[in-house]
Structure 1
Amino acid sequence: MTAKDLANLIERTGLSQREFGLKVNLSHVTIQNYLKNKRKITEEIEKQIKVALGQSADEKLNIELHVHFDWIRLTFFDSTIEKVMKGILGIDPKYFHYEEKGLLGYDENYSCGNIKILKSPDRPEQGIMLELTGKGVAEMEEFLLEQGEFSLVDWIVLVTDPDYAKDKELYTRINYPRLDLTIDELFKRHGNYDLHDFEQRMKKDFERLIETDLKKLGNHENYERGVSLGLTIELGSRGGNFVLRMYEKAKEIARKENITFEEALEEYGIVNRYEMELKNHYAKDVIDELAVGKAINDIAINLLLSKVAVYEEVKDDEGHISYQFHQPFYDVFGSSDNVKVNNKSRKSDFESSMKHFQMQYSAFIKSMFEVYGEEWTFEWLKKIADETVLNRKRQKIVDLEKVKLKKHENGAFEWYSKHYNI
């Protein structure tokens, strides 16, 4: 295992260097020495790391997702170019090239490779913008790796911390114009998700088979001599705060680098990319969650699955149609049984309502029994239910709960049935 292999492994776990060290029983200093090539990673240490991560010693790493930032754009107010260079990036100003060239509405830009700082001297109210495109993020990550102090996640949490900024007098306020959080689905021997399946569900019955508040921005797929160059699906609003792009990354790489699909897989290992372009409060919320110790993997998956749910039709023996989660889609991110949305399990929504009903209304129903009698109260409740029309979203939940009930997967129903012997 090389220093770069270790760095990639730490990044893919979504842990900080310190957290990774604790997990594999190595000190933070030791981890840094390995990353700086000051110490060699022996076969014994490699085995220790793999075993600690739940892998057999002779098993090749089989990580199926890679979650990372692919674009970072931050705006700092009441700051200076030198403060951004030295205090935020940690890069000596002598490595930056100055151009009096407009970009993104700014008049001047300073670049170090693909790391750019933008400023308009006559419009200080614009603030100073830090622009890291995909290549810029990669270069910043490489720089941080060479320094051996922070991962990219550690760095972005630190420089956006208002207390740190105040202590170092770096800026008084920060905006988050863009943050791209990306989930790469890596090649799996047992097969990967086909984005055409998602596309077909959109075409067949978008409202029933795809649940989302995001607008359809369009699907794009070009062909060359009858061969697909890659499908892209976009959901969200142009210029909005959240846009989701799902596309066949391996085919994009093959097209851009003029190599075969198989060569793209061999070199990069990425099949599909699920890219969330976040702005303003969405971007800030992600960084705030990182700041309190949440793993970037969990943040990205939870956010994506809070925006999109994928269903499939299920027919029972009598031909009645109900809907359940479409397992192949959720297998990319984890079983649908364990999907978390905003830190709440999807399968507990209906059960939580049952618990809420018991806690909030049991005393009132008891009072109605005492005043009006059980028969009248039950008849009253039935009349209310009979007159209620379920909207499409609620009916979908009901259909899903029926399927779960047959599989004995509604924990609240099972518990109440046993507890009250009903």
Structure 2
Amino acid sequence: MNSTISEYIKTSRLELGLTQDELAQRAGISVRYLRDIENDNGIPSDWVYESLQQALSTHEQNRMKWGARLRKTRRAYGVEQEWFALQLGMTTKQLRALETGKTELPYQKRFEIMSAVERFNPENEPLSIMFDYMRIRFKTTDARYVLEKILRLNMKYVISEDGGVYGYSYRFTHGNILVLSSPDEEKGVLLELRGRGCREFECYLRGQKRSWYEFMRDCAAEGCVFKRIDLAINDHAGLLHVPTLYRKRVTGECVTRLRNVEYFASGRENSWETDEDLKMEMGHTLYLGSKDSDVYFCIYEKAQEQKAKFGKSIEDADILNRFELRLTNNAAENSADALMDSEDAAGTAFSIINNYVRFVEPQTDKRRYDCPTDKHWEQFMQGEERKLKLTMKPKPFDLERTENWINTQVAKSIKMLQEIEKMKGRDFVQRLLDGTVLNEKHRKIVAQVTSELE
């Protein structure tokens, strides 16, 4: 009888995924006592046996309740089991075992899964859209006019230097806002806003009570040329699955005007590895179109990229995937006109996407062009109907990159020197800092970081 009880307690505990510590705590006994029972070194009293049975039964019921709640929530949000399993990186069989209470997970993992299903809550907007790059050429050689009158920046904080990129002679920077100029009237003045530059400029737009659309109209009034515009559609719910899109593209389950395709998985080009086979670092990236063409799409796993670059948790990520539209030359000019006329970034973006690519559900009796749209792609493309508002995420200029560089490349060397100085009675590091004089550029950087918006 004693051996049967010991075997029952141990087998039940293991099947439920409980540690000895967890079961002992739930039953109100010591771990040592439980260990003796499982090792058949003692007969538990009736009270202890009942406590253990109750703890095991309660845990099993809670597990089944959690699984049922997960299944009910998933179904209520219209999320298919197979698709949700794909998003979680598990098989459909594994998810089914969770939902039926046959598999146990730690609390943190259960929390992460419930958070993942909540991303599909129809009351939460799964997508957002923002400007992520802008390059504009002005038909003037007067950079100061562009900085003060069009961008409305205070010149006392602007750093001016000789030399530039794209063949320009001079550069003017205000944080990550870059203006280039040349005495050549054909080149004129060029404004370039990369991702960080867009976020910083949004701080000034808000202070000026201007929208992006109003700023673009101000630029157009000066006879500018929109050379490049990038629109980023952020996927907060996992509507896009990059490896699946690549598979559908190369297997002919895609109707597209974009012939070129490139795929990178953790730095490996044209990789066929599955999620299970691949230890992902930078994540998956799919490029559609040619870099030399006017329309170029980039779809990638933003959360995985942020984890690889900065160690940020995927579970805490606000943006899981990103679809970037990179529009240059005629495409940039046409999209700028559409944006200024409609003030509808989402409508413009999804219209362009729909014009260039559509993923389909293959049917043997139909041509690819006549096949129905893939249901998951259709769910993503419904963003056009949602009338997404253009998102602004202003972020003031900071020295994050410099601080990261010091942290990863310099800090250990400084610490080493300080340790040596303590032993040798030297003060090289402090004397070096005391003797360093900031030039005008670095003083302006200090002013840019510490001053209020002007």
Q: TM-score range by the shorter chain?
A: 0.5 to 0.7
Establish whether residue 62 from structure 1 lines up as the match of residue 62 from structure 2. Answer: no
- The alignment-based identity, stated in percent, is 26
Verify the 8 A CA contact 1:243 1:277 in the aligned structure 2: yes
Q: What is the aligned partner in structure 2 of residue 91 from structure 1?
A: 153
Establish whether residue 181 from structure 1 lines up as the match of residue 225 from structure 2. Answer: no
Establish whether residue 156 from structure 1 lines up as the match of residue 222 from structure 2. Answer: no
Q: 1:274 aligns with which of 320, 323, 341?
A: 323
Q: What is the aligned partner in structure 1 of residue 376 from structure 2?
A: 328
Q: When the two structures are aligned, how many residues end up with a matched partner?
A: 257
SS of the residue corresponding to residue 254 of structure 1 reads: helix
C-alpha displacement of 1:290: 2.1
C-alpha displacement of 1:243: 0.7
Residue 334 of structure 1 aligns with an amino acid whose one-letter code is Q
Q: CA offsets, 1:32-57, max 9 Å, x none? A: xxxxxxxxxxxxxxxxxxxxxxxxxx
| Cα distance in 2 for residues equivalent to 1:320 and 1:240 | 28
| Cα distance in 1 for residues equivalent to 2:263 and 2:204 | 37
Distance 1:114 1:320, change over 3 A: closer
Question: What TM-score, normalized by structure 1, do the two folds share?
Answer: 0.56
Verify the 8 A CA contact 1:232 1:246 in the aligned structure 2: yes
Residue 215 of structure 1 aligns with an amino acid whose one-letter code is R
Residue 198 of structure 1 aligns with an amino acid whose one-letter code is L
List aligned pairs for 1:396-415, cutoff 5 A. Answer: none
Establish whether residue 111 from structure 1 lines up as the match of residue 173 from structure 2. Answer: yes
C-alpha displacement of 1:223: 6.8
Distance 1:108 1:192, change over 3 A: same
Q: What is the aligned partner in structure 1 of residue 288 from structure 2?
A: 235
Q: What is the aligned partner in structure 1 of residue 187 from structure 2?
A: 126
| Cα distance in 2 for residues equivalent to 1:289 and 1:132 | 20
List aligned pairs for 1:190-205, cutoff 5 A. Answer: 192-205=239-252
| Cα distance in 2 for residues equivalent to 1:315 and 1:217 | 25
| Cα distance in 2 for residues equivalent to 1:290 and 1:329 | 24
Distance 1:335 1:294, change over 3 A: closer
Distance 1:65 1:102, change over 3 A: same
Distance 1:132 1:68, change over 3 A: same
Q: 1:140 aligns with which of 194, 198, 201?
A: 201
| Cα distance in 2 for residues equivalent to 1:333 and 1:70 | 20
List aligned pairs for 1:72-91, cutoff 5 A. Answer: 72-91=134-153
Q: What is the aligned partner in structure 2 of residue 390 from structure 1?
A: none
Of Structure 1 and Structure 2, the greater strand share is in 1
SS of the residue corresponding to residue 332 of structure 2 reads: helix
| Cα distance in 1 for residues equivalent to 2:248 and 2:361 | 9
Verify the 8 A CA contact 2:346 2:383 in the aligned structure 1: no
C-alpha displacement of 1:61: 6.6
C-alpha displacement of 1:146: 2.4
Q: CA offsets, 1:171-201, max 9 Å, x none? A: xx422221111111112xxx53311111111
Residue 82 of structure 1 aligns with an amino acid whose one-letter code is R
| Cα distance in 1 for residues equivalent to 2:367 and 2:332 | 43
C-alpha displacement of 1:302: 1.0
SS of the residue corresponding to residue 312 of structure 1 reads: coil
C-alpha displacement of 1:157: 2.6
Q: What is the aligned partner in structure 2 of residue 220 from structure 1?
A: 264
| Cα distance in 1 for residues equivalent to 2:216 and 2:243 | 35
Distance 1:77 1:312, change over 3 A: same
| Cα distance in 2 for residues equivalent to 1:285 and 1:71 | 16
| Cα distance in 2 for residues equivalent to 1:335 and 1:298 | 8
* Runs of at least 5 residues in structure 1 that lack an aligned partner in the other structure: 1-58, 166-172, 341-422
Verify the 8 A CA contact 1:157 1:290 in the aligned structure 2: no
Residue 156 of structure 1 aligns with an amino acid whose one-letter code is M
| CA RMSD between the two structures | 2.8
Residue 217 of structure 2 aligns with an amino acid whose one-letter code is V
Verify the 8 A CA contact 1:246 1:273 in the aligned structure 2: yes
Distance 1:320 1:158, change over 3 A: closer
Verify the 8 A CA contact 1:241 1:282 in the aligned structure 2: yes
C-alpha displacement of 1:226: 4.0
C-alpha displacement of 1:276: 1.0
C-alpha displacement of 1:335: 8.4
Highest CA radius of gyration, 1 or 2? 2
C-alpha displacement of 1:251: 0.7
Q: What is the aligned partner in structure 1 of residue 334 from structure 2?
A: 285
Distance 1:79 1:102, change over 3 A: closer
Establish whether residue 261 from structure 1 lines up as the match of residue 323 from structure 2. Answer: no
Residue 272 of structure 1 aligns with an amino acid whose one-letter code is N
* Runs of at least 5 residues in structure 2 that lack an aligned partner in the other structure: 1-120, 269-276, 388-454
| Cα distance in 1 for residues equivalent to 2:190 and 2:178 | 8
C-alpha displacement of 1:329: 0.9
C-alpha displacement of 1:102: 2.4
Verify the 8 A CA contact 1:327 1:335 in the aligned structure 2: no
| Cα distance in 1 for residues equivalent to 2:152 and 2:330 | 26
Q: Following TM superposition, where does structure 1 have runs of at least 4 consecutive aligned residues deviating by more than 6 angstroms?
A: 319-322
Q: What is the aligned partner in structure 1 of residue 66 from structure 2?
A: none
Verify the 8 A CA contact 2:240 2:377 in the aligned structure 1: yes
Distance 1:203 1:94, change over 3 A: same
Residue 282 of structure 1 aligns with an amino acid whose one-letter code is A
| Cα distance in 1 for residues equivalent to 2:367 and 2:234 | 37
| Cα distance in 2 for residues equivalent to 1:291 and 1:335 | 20
